[in-house]
Every structure is written in structure tokens, then in C-alpha cells.
Amino acid sequence: MALDIRQFLNIAGIVKDLKSFNFSVYGQWFGYINIILCIALGIANLFHVNAVIVFGILSIVQGLIILFIEVPFLLRICPLSDNFIAFIKRFETNGKRTLFYLGMAAVQWCSLALMVTSLIAVAIGLTISAASYGVAHFKHQQFQNTSIIKSPADDDFPHEAVVREML
């Protein structure tokens, strides 16, 4: 029996999130996409021979910060300084996340002054996240976490026997 990634995904939760029209969930989903975009395109832009390298490095750092903001579970399992944890915990509301993503997007939009590169995709992604969190803030929607991955307490979660069989 092969282990399938779909066994770990909460498809019903994903559909419920999409139908909720809660823009904080959409902002969080775009945040997940931004993690991948920031890190991948940041690395890709390290190979330029001009000042765009600085914005590539900033993009990688932004991706890591977004990772800790959007996946708060990592704050508990990674050894981090108290100052960094306090910094990350400031962004627990829609309004503060809007401002955070706007600032991050502004940095990447500034990279276009030097040279138009693939970092424009990072800037657009961060702007979409900021817009989603902004709409949620102005509609007074409650911030809620998305439920993409199943909880180990669920009945249909793959248990140890499946994992042992996979190994």
C-alpha cells in the first residue's frame, strides 16, 4: 500500500475554506504561495551581476519570515530568540498583516527600479496577500487559520502502520 499525500490533506476543510468568503483565509493561502515564490525567485536572482542580488537576498529572508508568520507551529519547534518570536507574534491580526505585506511588497517593487526581473512575481504575490488581508480587515472578518492538513486526531488520518509500511 503506497502512501499518498492526499491521505494527509483535508479536502473537506479546503472546500469549506474556499466557500467561506473569509479573506483572511485567502490571504493565508497566498502567504503560503509567497513563501515558495520568495525563496525560489530569491535564489534565482542571486545570479545577476548587479544590485538585484540584494533584493534576491531580501526575498529569501522575506520568505523565511513569512514562513514563521503563516505557520505559527514552527515557532514552538524551532529554537528561536525571544525577540524574533515577539516580532512574529505582532502580526496576529488582519490589519497588522496587511501593513506587513504592504511593506514587504514595497521592498520588492523597489527592486524594479534597478532591473525588471522575476522578483516582480514576488511583488505581485505580496501585494495580493496584502489586499486579501486588507479586505478582511475592512470587512471586520475574524482572522482564522486554514485547515489544509488533517489533524492526527481525525479518524481517517494515516496511522503508524501505514507509515511503517511506507518505510
Rounded to two decimals, what is the model's pTM?
0.79
**Nearest CA to 71 among 32, 24, 126?**
32
For the residues of 7-34, what is the DSSP string, one character each? Answer: GTB-HHHHHHHHHT--HHHHHHHHHHHH
Q: What is the pLDDT of residue 152?
A: 53
Rounded Cα distance between 20 and 143, Å, is: 12
Angle between helices 82-89 and 52-70 (to 10 degrees): 80
Length of the chain: 167
| Contact by Cβ (8 Å): 42, 84 | no
Q: What is the pLDDT of residue 20?
A: 73
> Which residue has 524594479 as its cell numbers?
112
Q: What is the pLDDT of residue 1?
A: 47
Q: What is the pLDDT of residue 56?
A: 93
> Which residue has 520568495 as its cell numbers?
38
| Contact by Cβ (8 Å): 161, 6 | no
Low-confidence ranges of the chain (pLDDT < 50): 1, 161
Residues 6 or more apart whose Cβ sits within 8 Å of residue 97: 24, 27, 69, 91, 129, 133, 143
| Contact by Cβ (8 Å): 53, 46 | yes
Report the sign of the C-alpha dihedral through residues 137, 141, 144, 148, in that order. negative
